[in-house]
Amino acid sequence: MAPHDDSLIMTGVREGEVEKLAILFERHHLPLYNFFLRLTGNGAASEDLVQDVFVRILKYRSTYQAQSPFAVWMYQIARNAHIDFLRKRRDKDTVPLDDQWAEAASHEPQPGEALETQRDRALIRKALDSLPENKREILFLSRFQNLKYRDIAKLQGCSEGAVKTIVHRALKDLGRAYAALQEGVTS
């Protein structure tokens, strides 16, 4: 779908055609859910966060600028929602939820899925845990959310070069962590 089309729809929502938000929900809720799932490792929390993002979109719809791509604006809201989620989690002093994600996934292997793929998933998830929150977030935005470096730079309030440097370092750290874990498994 064209990002321009999303911007037109969101402009309609801003002007009062709020039912059009359903189109944006249908287009974006799945990648958004997976973005949160990769960050939080918890399905229920990720569903709450998706809902929170769309509630905020409605609440702040008057602030949407048509020249800005909708996805960039939405992920800006998503980042804020995630920061609030982390703050609340810290306040409640709850345990990190990543294990639940790994466990849920390992309990539901796809038919015919190779054992090696399952093992790979567990290793890469563990390796991802070793990255700081900000690096993981930027890496996911770049790898899975289809955002350009200049869009991520807008989100992060930094230069495009700085984003590339973070992605570079994140990949290097992740690759090393994965290789070390793999060595630990095979040795």
Partner 1 sequence: MNCRNIQERLVDYLTGDDDPVARNEIQEHVGSCAACREELETMTLAWTKLGVLPEQKPGPALRTRFYTMLETYKGRMDEEAAGTERRGRVRLADRFAAWWPKTPAPQMALSALFLAAGVMAGILLTPGPGRSVAIARLEAEVRDMRQQVSLSLLDRASPSDRLSGLSAASQVRDPNPRTLEALFKALNEDSNTNVRLAAVDALYLFRDNARVREGLVGSLTRQTSPLVQIALINLLADIKETRAAEALKSLIADRELRPEVRQKAEWGLLKLI
Question: How far is the C-alpha of 12 from the C-alpha of 180, rounded, in Å?
Answer: 51
d(CA 91, CA 83): 12
Q: Is 8 in the site for partner 1 (CB under 8 A)?
A: no
Contact between 36 and 49 (Cβ < 8 Å): yes
The pair of structure tokens assigned to 92 is 């409640």
Q: Which stretch binds partner 1 (CB under 8 A): 2-10, 63-71, 90-98, 167-175?
A: 167-175
- Asked if 73 touches partner 1 (CB under 8 A), the answer is no
- What is the C-alpha to C-alpha distance for residues 120 and 125, in angstroms, rounded to an integer? 8
The amino acid at residue 36 is F
183 binds partner 1, rule: CB under 8 A: no
Q: Enumerate binding residues for partner 1 (CB under 8 A).
A: 16, 18-19, 21-23, 25-26, 29-30, 33-34, 37-38, 43, 46-47, 50-51, 54-55, 58, 105, 110, 117, 120-121, 123-125, 127, 139, 142-144, 149, 164, 167-168, 170-172, 174-176, 178-179
